[in-house]
Amino acid sequence: MVRAAVFDAFGTLFDIHSLAAACEAAFPGRGEAINRLWRQKQLEYSWLRTALGRYRDFWGITGDALAYACGSLGCVLTDDIRARILAAYDSITAVPEASAALTSLRARGTGIHIFSNGTLAMLRTAARSTGLDALVDGYLSVDEAVRQYKPVPAAYHDVIRRLGAPAAEILFVSSNYFDVAGAKNVGFRVVWVNRSGAPPDALDLTPDHTLPDLTRVASL
Protein backbone atom coordinates (compact mmCIF):
# COMPACT_ATOMS: atom_id res chain seq x y z
CA MET A 1 0.00 0.00 0.00
CA VAL A 2 1.23 3.47 -0.88
CA ARG A 3 -0.38 6.27 1.10
CA ALA A 4 1.63 9.09 -0.44
CA ALA A 5 4.10 9.79 -3.20
CA VAL A 6 6.85 12.21 -2.22
CA PHE A 7 9.01 13.82 -4.88
CA ASP A 8 12.30 15.62 -4.65
CA ALA A 9 12.11 19.00 -6.35
CA PHE A 10 15.21 20.26 -8.16
CA GLY A 11 16.54 17.79 -10.68
CA THR A 12 13.57 15.46 -10.25
CA LEU A 13 10.49 17.55 -11.08
CA PHE A 14 12.17 20.84 -11.96
CA ASP A 15 14.85 20.93 -14.62
CA ILE A 16 17.96 22.38 -13.01
CA HIS A 17 19.65 22.47 -16.42
CA SER A 18 17.14 25.06 -17.63
CA LEU A 19 18.96 27.62 -15.46
CA ALA A 20 21.93 27.48 -17.81
CA ALA A 21 20.18 29.84 -20.25
CA ALA A 22 20.31 32.68 -17.73
CA CYS A 23 23.99 31.98 -17.07
CA GLU A 24 24.70 31.95 -20.80
CA ALA A 25 22.85 35.24 -21.32
CA ALA A 26 25.02 36.86 -18.66
CA PHE A 27 28.30 35.24 -19.68
CA PRO A 28 28.22 34.03 -23.32
CA GLY A 29 30.13 30.82 -23.86
CA ARG A 30 30.32 30.06 -20.13
CA GLY A 31 26.70 29.29 -19.27
CA GLU A 32 26.89 25.51 -19.11
CA ALA A 33 30.12 25.52 -17.11
CA ILE A 34 28.75 28.04 -14.62
CA ASN A 35 25.52 26.12 -14.20
CA ARG A 36 27.31 22.81 -13.57
CA LEU A 37 29.65 24.28 -10.97
CA TRP A 38 26.82 26.30 -9.43
CA ARG A 39 24.80 23.14 -8.82
CA GLN A 40 27.82 21.24 -7.53
CA LYS A 41 28.67 23.91 -4.96
CA GLN A 42 25.00 24.37 -4.01
CA LEU A 43 24.90 20.73 -2.90
CA GLU A 44 28.35 20.78 -1.33
CA TYR A 45 27.47 23.84 0.75
CA SER A 46 24.30 22.15 2.02
CA TRP A 47 26.29 19.12 3.20
CA LEU A 48 29.09 21.20 4.68
CA ARG A 49 26.75 23.50 6.59
CA THR A 50 24.88 20.51 7.99
CA ALA A 51 28.13 18.83 9.07
CA LEU A 52 29.39 22.07 10.63
CA GLY A 53 26.10 22.94 12.32
CA ARG A 54 26.00 26.31 10.52
CA TYR A 55 22.59 26.39 8.88
CA ARG A 56 21.76 28.88 6.15
CA ASP A 57 18.58 28.53 4.13
CA PHE A 58 18.78 27.07 0.64
CA TRP A 59 18.14 30.36 -1.10
CA GLY A 60 21.13 31.86 0.69
CA ILE A 61 23.25 28.84 -0.19
CA THR A 62 22.14 29.14 -3.81
CA GLY A 63 23.41 32.71 -3.98
CA ASP A 64 26.69 31.77 -2.31
CA ALA A 65 27.21 28.90 -4.73
CA LEU A 66 26.56 31.15 -7.73
CA ALA A 67 29.14 33.63 -6.47
CA TYR A 68 31.69 30.84 -6.09
CA ALA A 69 31.00 29.41 -9.54
CA CYS A 70 31.34 32.74 -11.30
CA GLY A 71 34.44 33.74 -9.36
CA SER A 72 36.08 30.37 -9.96
CA LEU A 73 35.51 30.68 -13.72
CA GLY A 74 36.74 34.27 -13.90
CA CYS A 75 33.31 35.84 -14.46
CA VAL A 76 32.59 39.14 -12.69
CA LEU A 77 29.27 38.82 -10.86
CA THR A 78 27.79 42.28 -10.36
CA ASP A 79 24.71 42.75 -8.19
CA ASP A 80 22.59 43.24 -11.31
CA ILE A 81 23.85 40.09 -13.02
CA ARG A 82 23.48 38.11 -9.81
CA ALA A 83 19.85 39.20 -9.50
CA ARG A 84 19.11 38.33 -13.12
CA ILE A 85 20.60 34.85 -12.89
CA LEU A 86 18.92 34.03 -9.57
CA ALA A 87 15.60 35.23 -11.03
CA ALA A 88 15.78 32.22 -13.37
CA TYR A 89 14.53 30.14 -10.44
CA ASP A 90 11.24 32.04 -10.74
CA SER A 91 10.72 30.68 -14.25
CA ILE A 92 12.41 27.27 -13.97
CA THR A 93 10.90 24.64 -16.25
CA ALA A 94 9.63 21.18 -15.35
CA VAL A 95 11.12 18.00 -16.76
CA PRO A 96 9.07 17.08 -19.86
CA GLU A 97 7.06 14.19 -18.39
CA ALA A 98 6.40 15.68 -14.93
CA SER A 99 2.84 16.88 -15.51
CA ALA A 100 1.68 13.63 -17.10
CA ALA A 101 3.30 11.54 -14.36
CA LEU A 102 1.69 13.52 -11.54
CA THR A 103 -1.66 13.51 -13.33
CA SER A 104 -1.52 9.71 -13.56
CA LEU A 105 -0.77 9.45 -9.85
CA ARG A 106 -3.67 11.71 -8.92
CA ALA A 107 -5.99 9.62 -11.08
CA ARG A 108 -5.08 6.66 -8.86
CA GLY A 109 -5.96 8.65 -5.74
CA THR A 110 -2.38 8.96 -4.54
CA GLY A 111 -1.47 12.03 -2.47
CA ILE A 112 1.46 13.97 -3.91
CA HIS A 113 3.96 16.01 -1.91
CA ILE A 114 7.21 17.73 -2.78
CA PHE A 115 10.02 17.38 -0.24
CA SER A 116 13.10 19.51 -0.74
CA ASN A 117 16.07 21.30 0.71
CA GLY A 118 14.60 24.36 -0.99
CA THR A 119 12.62 26.91 0.99
CA LEU A 120 8.84 26.88 0.78
CA ALA A 121 8.98 30.09 -1.27
CA MET A 122 11.29 28.42 -3.79
CA LEU A 123 9.05 25.36 -4.06
CA ARG A 124 5.79 27.25 -4.45
CA THR A 125 7.28 29.62 -7.03
CA ALA A 126 8.70 26.72 -9.06
CA ALA A 127 5.40 24.82 -8.91
CA ARG A 128 3.45 27.87 -10.11
CA SER A 129 5.99 28.54 -12.85
CA THR A 130 5.69 24.99 -14.19
CA GLY A 131 1.95 24.60 -13.65
CA LEU A 132 2.48 21.66 -11.30
CA ASP A 133 0.94 23.46 -8.34
CA ALA A 134 -2.55 22.19 -9.25
CA LEU A 135 -1.27 18.60 -8.98
CA VAL A 136 0.54 18.88 -5.65
CA ASP A 137 -1.13 18.39 -2.27
CA GLY A 138 1.62 19.86 -0.13
CA TYR A 139 5.17 21.10 0.20
CA LEU A 140 7.70 19.90 2.78
CA SER A 141 10.94 21.80 3.34
CA VAL A 142 13.84 21.10 5.67
CA ASP A 143 13.75 24.84 6.37
CA GLU A 144 10.50 24.54 8.32
CA ALA A 145 11.66 22.56 11.33
CA VAL A 146 14.69 20.32 10.90
CA ARG A 147 17.02 22.96 9.44
CA GLN A 148 19.47 20.27 8.38
CA TYR A 149 19.87 19.18 4.79
CA LYS A 150 19.28 15.87 3.11
CA PRO A 151 20.46 13.16 3.45
CA VAL A 152 20.46 13.47 7.28
CA PRO A 153 17.91 10.99 8.71
CA ALA A 154 16.13 13.71 10.69
CA ALA A 155 14.95 15.34 7.46
CA TYR A 156 13.19 12.17 6.26
CA HIS A 157 11.82 11.35 9.72
CA ASP A 158 10.16 14.76 9.70
CA VAL A 159 8.35 13.76 6.49
CA ILE A 160 7.11 10.57 8.16
CA ARG A 161 5.88 12.55 11.14
CA ARG A 162 4.10 15.17 9.09
CA LEU A 163 2.44 12.75 6.68
CA GLY A 164 1.43 10.41 9.49
CA ALA A 165 2.30 7.33 7.46
CA PRO A 166 4.83 4.55 8.02
CA ALA A 167 7.99 4.89 5.96
CA ALA A 168 7.19 1.69 4.08
CA GLU A 169 3.93 3.23 2.83
CA ILE A 170 5.62 6.31 1.36
CA LEU A 171 6.89 6.13 -2.22
CA PHE A 172 9.86 8.47 -2.50
CA VAL A 173 11.10 9.61 -5.91
CA SER A 174 14.39 11.38 -6.59
CA SER A 175 16.95 11.77 -9.34
CA ASN A 176 19.75 12.46 -6.82
CA TYR A 177 21.45 9.33 -5.51
CA PHE A 178 22.42 10.89 -2.18
CA ASP A 179 18.70 11.54 -1.70
CA VAL A 180 17.81 8.00 -2.77
CA ALA A 181 20.25 6.66 -0.17
CA GLY A 182 18.91 8.97 2.51
CA ALA A 183 15.31 7.92 1.90
CA LYS A 184 16.14 4.22 1.75
CA ASN A 185 18.14 4.55 4.96
CA VAL A 186 14.94 5.35 6.90
CA GLY A 187 12.82 2.71 5.16
CA PHE A 188 10.97 4.53 2.37
CA ARG A 189 10.05 2.70 -0.81
CA VAL A 190 12.37 4.45 -3.22
CA VAL A 191 12.45 5.16 -6.94
CA TRP A 192 15.67 6.43 -8.47
CA VAL A 193 15.10 8.46 -11.64
CA ASN A 194 18.41 7.80 -13.35
CA ARG A 195 18.22 10.05 -16.40
CA SER A 196 21.90 9.83 -17.29
CA GLY A 197 22.34 6.07 -16.85
CA ALA A 198 24.89 6.67 -14.08
CA PRO A 199 26.11 3.80 -11.90
CA PRO A 200 24.77 3.80 -8.33
CA ASP A 201 27.01 5.12 -5.58
CA ALA A 202 28.63 2.49 -3.37
CA LEU A 203 26.65 3.29 -0.23
CA ASP A 204 25.09 -0.13 0.48
CA LEU A 205 21.67 1.47 0.03
CA THR A 206 19.86 0.62 -3.19
CA PRO A 207 16.52 1.87 -4.55
CA ASP A 208 13.54 -0.41 -4.92
CA HIS A 209 13.12 0.70 -8.54
CA THR A 210 15.29 2.49 -11.09
CA LEU A 211 13.62 4.29 -13.98
CA PRO A 212 14.99 6.45 -16.82
CA ASP A 213 12.33 9.12 -16.20
CA LEU A 214 9.06 9.73 -14.34
CA THR A 215 6.77 8.17 -16.94
CA ARG A 216 6.23 4.83 -15.20
CA VAL A 217 6.13 6.02 -11.58
CA ALA A 218 2.35 5.74 -11.35
CA SER A 219 2.43 2.12 -12.52
CA LEU A 220 4.53 1.16 -9.49
Confirm whether 8 is a catalytic residue.
yes
Q: What single letter denotes the amino acid at residue 68?
A: Y
What is the C-alpha radius of gyration for the chain, rounded to an integer number of angstroms?
Answer: 17
Angle (CA) 210-216-220 rounded to 5° is: 75
Residue among 158, 152, 159, 154 nearest 173 (CA): 159
Q: 189: helix, coil or strand? A: strand
**Is there a cis peptide before residue 151, judged by omega within 30 degrees of 0?**
yes
Q: One of 8, 143, 158, 179 is an active-site residue; which one?
A: 8
Catalytically active residues are 8
